[in-house]
A and B are shown apart, each in its own frame.
Chain A
Amino acid sequence: MKILYPFVAVLGLIIIAAIGSQAGLEALFGIVFPYLALLIFLGGFINKVVGWAKSPVPFRIPTTCGQANSLPWIKQDCLDCPSTTTGVLARMALEIFLFRSLFRNTQADVYDGPKLRYGSSKYLWLFGLLFHYAFLVIIVRHLRLFADPIPFFVNILEYADGFLQIGLPHLYQSDLVILGAITLLFLRRIILTNVRYISLPADYFPLFLIFSIAATGMLMRYVTRVDIVAVKQLAVGLTTLHPSIVGDLGMVFYVHIFLVCTLLVYFPFSKLMHMGGVFMSPTRNLANNSRMVRHINPWNDPNLKPHSYAAYEDEFREFMVDADIPVDKELPVAAAEATTE
């Protein structure tokens, strides 16, 4: 069920787009939905991030993964236990660009038997990294459709991405990588029983959705050979707020764009928001300088006082005097006499 429902949902979306676009609703699917989706995406994303930002960070709670800044002759682990902003930036950069925490998983070294290293976690790091970078490359490549003239870096990237020069049009490696990585991430989710056990429909849905987006995209490029000039016209039109649909873009195109719209709409309300969250995680983005610089908690209640010393001494004064422990207030005379007896 956990796998079936999201699968059916994506299938449903594809069918809706396929039928809709053939029923004369091109403008709805090609123009209205993209604008709507973008608005929801931006609104939702900002809303979520602002929502997070609204909650304060009452305490400085970095997870220290190495030696802290302490005595001058002890070497600090500046990347895993930074005490300065620069260090934090470096730590965050490694986390965001290289998924450092996931990579850490591979340290195990003593194995019994001459078995292959078991490293599902390392695979996770690899698949994850491949997937995210392929996705990024594909998004940047798409800029060629939205921008006129095409930014220089898009051309460079495109060239690099297709440098194997297989087939015509040239096959992009990122296309293969993203399909492969998604497949492997999916397989990992169903093969490793403990990961399967923790998986929710919300984990499969984005996998199916993104897979379908990539697949329809490739279909257009390599098989149905969509009219790229017409697509660009629409895309540039969308960016310049003068959208128009010229000619027949084909069913696959509408499916593709509708799935992208779905992804955009779905994004802010789902776990995909980890994209924003990773920047704001208090265990990673704070310096381990809690004893050096006072961190302020906006809701700290200054009126919350400890059980006072005076009350403590009142309760135990007799014993304290008896045990020669200094007191602030001496015993009343009568009691003092009683204890000396």
Chain B
Amino acid sequence: MNFKDTLAEKKPKIVQLWIESVMASYSADGASFFMKQKDRFANPLGFAAKSGLTAVFDQLTGDRTTQEMPPELMQFIKLRSVQNFLPSAAVGFIYQLKTIMMAQLGEAILLEAGSEWFAFEAKIDALSLKLFDLYMEDRELLAQVKVNEYRRKNHVLAEGRCPSSMAVNNQEEKIELKVIRDC
């Protein structure tokens, strides 16, 4: 059996293991729930992981025809970008695929596959850089969201320097204290 066929055959198992290993980066109790609950609205995190990782795998094996980033993957990275992970952990899950594949396919097949396997690995490496770009894009977006919110004057609620309190007293430094004592 050649590399491609073996890969096709083992795909469900590999993807499953990969999803599990990524899910293990959430605490155990959450992870089990995220694995089980199938409803995409009751379990958006689990849904994003599953669809995102499956899409990546299809991309790598060439089962997806387009070269564009799968939207499911982009959504998943977006999620990782706000989940308190270190940047390395947020995108590092892609490398876990390598180890899982090595274990699943076995030495013999990989040696036989030779250049095909190296090409596959190279794809993973290239993708990992793209994931990092995506991650940064999302962080930038988040920063933009903060700026936008600021522009919408949301901060006025708790800045202690709302325009009208300025009007009361123009001695900038003393504004806050003065306003408070005046009340």
Contact = CB atoms under 8 A, between A and B. Distances in A.
B32 A193 contact: yes
Residue from B31, B38, B47 whose CB has the most chain A CB atoms within 10 Å: B38
Given A112-B47, A315-B182, A118 B36 contact: yes
A193 B32 CA distance: 6
A111 interface: yes
A118 B182 contact: no
Given A193-B29, A194-B32, A194-B33, A110 B182 contact: no
A308 to B, nearest CB: 12
Nearest to A196: B29
A197 B31 CA distance: 12
Contacts of B41: 108, 110
Interface size class of B (residues with CB under 8 A): 10 to 19
Interface residues of A, number: 16
Interface string A312-328: 00010001000000000
B29 A112 contact: no
Contacts of B40: 110-112
Interface string A116-127: 011010000000
Given A118-B36, A193-B29, A193-B32, A108 B42 contact: yes
A319 B47 CA distance: 56
Nearest to A111: B38
B124 to A, nearest CB: 25
User: In terms of DSSP, what is the predominant structure of the interface of chain B?
Assistant: helix
Contacts of A109: 39
A335 to B, nearest CB: 15
A192 interface: yes
B6 interface: no
A193 B39 contact: no
B51 interface: yes
B167 to A, nearest CB: 8
A51 interface: no
A121 to B, nearest CB: 10
Contacts of B29: 193-194, 197
B38 A112 contact: yes
Interface in B32-76: 32-33, 36-42, 47, 50-51
Nearest to B33: A194
Contacts of A197: 28-29
Contacts of B37: 118
A306 interface: no
B129 to A, nearest CB: 29
B30 interface: yes
Nearest to B28: A193
Contacts of A305: none
Contacts of A118: 36-39
B28 A108 contact: no
Residue from A109, A117, A193, A319 whose CB has the most chain B CB atoms within 10 Å: A193
B32 A192 contact: yes
B178 to A, nearest CB: 13
B57 to A, nearest CB: 16
B32 A110 contact: no
A113 B50 CA distance: 11
A117 B107 CA distance: 39
B33 A110 contact: no
A113 to B, nearest CB: 7
A329 interface: no
Interface in A153-184: none
Nearest to B182: A315
A112 B42 CA distance: 12
A115 interface: yes
A115 B38 contact: yes
B32 A112 contact: no
Contact of A112 (B50, B167, B182): B50
Contacts of A319: 167
Contacts of A315: 182-183
A248 to B, nearest CB: 51
B172 to A, nearest CB: 19
Interface of B: 28-33, 36-42, 47, 50-51, 167, 182-183
30 contacts: A108-B39, A108-B41, A108-B42, A109-B39, A110-B39, A110-B40, A110-B41, A111-B38, A111-B39, A111-B40, A112-B38, A112-B40, A112-B47, A112-B50, A112-B51, A115-B38, A118-B36, A118-B37, A118-B39, A120-B36, A193-B28, A193-B29, A193-B32, A194-B30, A194-B32, A194-B33, A197-B28, A197-B29, A315-B182, A315-B183
Interface of A: 108-113, 115, 117-118, 120, 192-194, 197, 315, 319
Given A108-B39, A194-B32, 4 more contacts: A110-B41, A112-B38, A117-B38, A193-B31
